[in-house]
Structure 1
Amino acid sequence: MTIKPMLVYNPTAGKGNAGKILPRVQTLLGERGFESDLVLTEGVGHAQALGEQAVEAGVDLVVVAGGDGTVNEAINGLMNQPLNGKKRPALGVLPVGRGNDFAFGMGIPQELTQACDILAGGQRRRIDIGRVSGGDYPNGRYFGNGVGLGFDTVVGFEAAKMTWLHGGASYLVAVIRTIFKYAKAPVYEVTLDDGVLRQPFLMVSVMNGRRMGGAFMMAPDGDPSDRTFDLCLTGQVSQIRILPVAATFISGKQGSDPAVSMRRSRKITIRAIEGSIPAHADGETICTAGEQLTIEILPGALDVLTHSNGWQA
């Protein structure tokens, strides 16, 4: 008997818009002959449990309709569950959340009709998965898009408080708010494959994908299958310069700023020397004031449905 793909659908994604468009999603998938078993998520952690169940049941494909948080939960479910001789399910994504950064970095179109075409096409490509240990997750948490530390994380905390803006607009407003809350950079010791950096860092982004916050191109040339992370390291910036520097991240041209360094590494350890580490993975809080994090890459750990001709949709 053929097991249908599991469609993990978060009706609260996109400030509840995902629930409103569910009939359209079902119509689009039906028109393409894509059959699945629909399961609506019921709260925090449910998508992870469903991912674990899919592995145990031998499901070949799990499609996640939601935002980055729902996708992150599902990835943790798929990666946490022992395979016991089974094959790990592939991951499909319908980006119906706010930022949809994972989908963007994986070359999955943001437009719903095109995203459904990707599912119907069935083209799979293998991607790397990251794992971050420390903070609230001493045993580790998986991520697909990236880990942000410092200013970036505080921006995310501020954006999450907003109910009147969506996507990139909420993050732009959050940047302005954070300028006044997080102007002094903590001192981190950052250990990379090729050396150690010890200095004030306003922000550290460790990317498997390309974009964070719905608008900020932390790794404009990122490739989620190249077995290494792209890092964007921002040193101390005067308060008056924070907004102009942040604006360069939208175009992906921040590497030309003397305060920003672009590096690559397979493993990263970050230790707080002065201050602490606020951090997130795929927008999910790892810690608000951590002391040390270790981030490592798991090459070719998961198959995703995407374009056959590249990662940039």
Structure 2
Amino acid sequence: MNTDPNRWGIIYNPKAGTRKVQKRWKEIKEYIESKQVAFDYVQSEGFGTVEVLARAYASEGYRIIVVVGGDGALNDAINGILTSSAEQISDIAIGIIPNGIGNDFARYWDLNLDYKEAVDWIINNRRKKIDVGYCSYYDAHKHERRYFLNALNIGLGARIVKITDQTKRFWGVKFLSYLASLFLLFFEHKLYRVHLKINDEHVRGRVMTVCVGNASGYGQTPSAVPYNGWLDVSVIYRPEPLQILSGLWMLIQGRILNHKMVKSYRTKMVRVYKARNAAVDVDGRIIPSHYPLEVGIQSEAITLIIPN
């Protein structure tokens, strides 16, 4: 049991990106040691182990848990902490050292790949309570709840994650796999028949994708703020081929909400009654899509160490 509230529990996720990224840990560790920070560290050994390690750190009394990884590792860590046996989860602070390609949540806080800046900010220990989204669902055996910091995607966004995971085996590099999946989906142009309830409105029809964002959602919910107690929702309807190109350009520029095929909402709860044949992902993790789903928010559920 750790009794030092200033001792860091570090989780290093070596599978968060390319080989070059994996080599950074030695430099990161040496820099932390040069700052005379007391810490323990463990390395994840594959899918799901970050969640187990974070749960163990929280249950063993660590009050500063640092994740060296991307969005997927951070999501696993949050789920581990929130399902731990720690007496005061609100006392646990999460530090992020971005490591990999998928660092959308870190970028929201202006955390870049400069690990020295990230370490210095964690040492400074400026804290902010933030909201956490959740998705409650039935996995065909029992009821589950998965938490997220960034976004939940139904349809296109989740398909990109799914195809990226499949093509990564061939390309070896996640970024190339991501580009390949976008290329395939551009020509696939698949639509999904959905039935959602957002606030008091029932949303029915054929859509390309739905994004429920606690933060930027990879540009799909650019106005979302992870500390205002609300979720932002973007529903993208059927665009024509040229509208897809303009939509991608507007997505890159952070103006996707201005696209005429996008309808946006702000809510505290989304009920998904149906999304036929649509994959669902939570912060890049595919979850079983047994409907209905309930997507909601827990205000100020976790503490994050943020930049100066």
TM-score w.r.t. length of structure 1: 0.88
Aligned to 1:27: 30
Other-structure match for 1:266: 268
Q: Verify the 8 A CA contact 1:11 1:17 in the aligned structure 2.
A: no
Q: How has the CA–CA distance of structure 1 residues 205 and 118 changed in structure 2, closer, same or farther, with 3 Å as cutoff?
A: same
AA matched with 1:30: E
| Residue matched to 1:206 | 212
Structure 1 SS opposite 2:16: coil
Greater Cα shift, 89-98 or 191-200 = 191-200
SS at match of 1:277: coil
Structure 2 residue matching 1:115: 3-state secondary structure: helix
Amino acid at match of 1:191: K
Residue in structure 2 matching 1:176, options 179, 183, 186: 183
Q: Provide runs of 4+ in structure 1 moved above 6 Å.
A: none
C-alpha contact (below 8 Å) 1:10/1:41 kept by paired residues: yes
Amino acid at match of 1:232: S
Paired position in structure 2 for 1:145: 150
Q: CA offsets, 1:138-162, max 9 Å, x none?
A: 3111111110110111112222323
- Is 1:282 aligned to residue 288 of structure 2? no
- Matching residue of 1:236: 238
Matched position secondary structure for 2:194: strand
* 1:229-270 Cα distance to aligned partner (Å, 9 max, x none): 111110112345323322321111112211011211111011
TM-aligned CA deviation for residue 73 of structure 1: 0.9
Q: Trace 1:30-179 onto structure 2 (pairs within 5 A).
A: 30-84=33-87, 88-134=91-137, 136=139, 138-160=143-165, 161-162=167-168, 163=171, 165-167=173-175, 170-179=177-186
User: 2:172 & 2:56 partners in 1: Cα distance?
Assistant: 36
CA distance in 2, matches of 1:189, 1:41: 38
Correspondence for 1:251: 253
Q: SS at the partner of 1:2?
A: coil
Q: Runs of 5+ in structure 1 lacking a partner?
A: 309-313
Distance 1:10 1:85 in 2: 26
Q: CA RMSD in A?
A: 2.1
Report the Cα distance in structure 2 between the residues aligned to 1:86 and 1:149, rounded to whole angstroms. Answer: 30
1:85–1:65 CA distance, 2 compared to 1 (3 A):
closer
SS of structure 2 residue aligned to 1:132: strand
Deviates more, 1:50-59 or 1:30-39: 30-39
| Cα deviation code 1:186-237 (max 9, x no counterpart) | 121111124221121110011111142xxxx112232110101111110112
Give the aligned residue type for 1:281. V
- Unpaired runs of at least 5, structure 2: none
Deviation, structure 1 residue 184: 3.6
Offset of residue 124 of structure 1 = 0.7
2:244 partner amino acid: I
Distance 1:50 1:230, change over 3 A: same
Alpha-carbon distance in structure 2 between the residues aligned to 1:85 and 1:118: 23
Q: Judging changes above 3 Å, is the alpha-carbon distance between structure 1 residues 255 and 159 closer, same or farther for their aligned structure 2 residues? A: same
1:258-288 CA-to-partner distances (Å, cap 9, x unmatched) read 1011211111011226x3331100100013x
Identity over aligned residues, as a percent?
Answer: 24
**Is this contact kept in 1: 2:215–2:225, CA < 8 A?**
yes
Within 1, Cα distance between the matches of 2:106 and 2:77?
13
User: If the length of structure 2 is used for normalisation, what is the TM-score?
Assistant: 0.89
CA distance in 1, matches of 2:233, 2:211: 6
Deviates more, 1:226-235 or 1:137-146: 137-146
**Contact in 1 for aligned 2:161/2:286 (Cα 8 Å):** no
The separation in 1 between residues aligned to 2:134 and 2:43, in whole angstroms, is 27
How many corresponding residue pairs? 300
Q: 1:270 to 1:246 in 2, by over 3 A?
A: farther
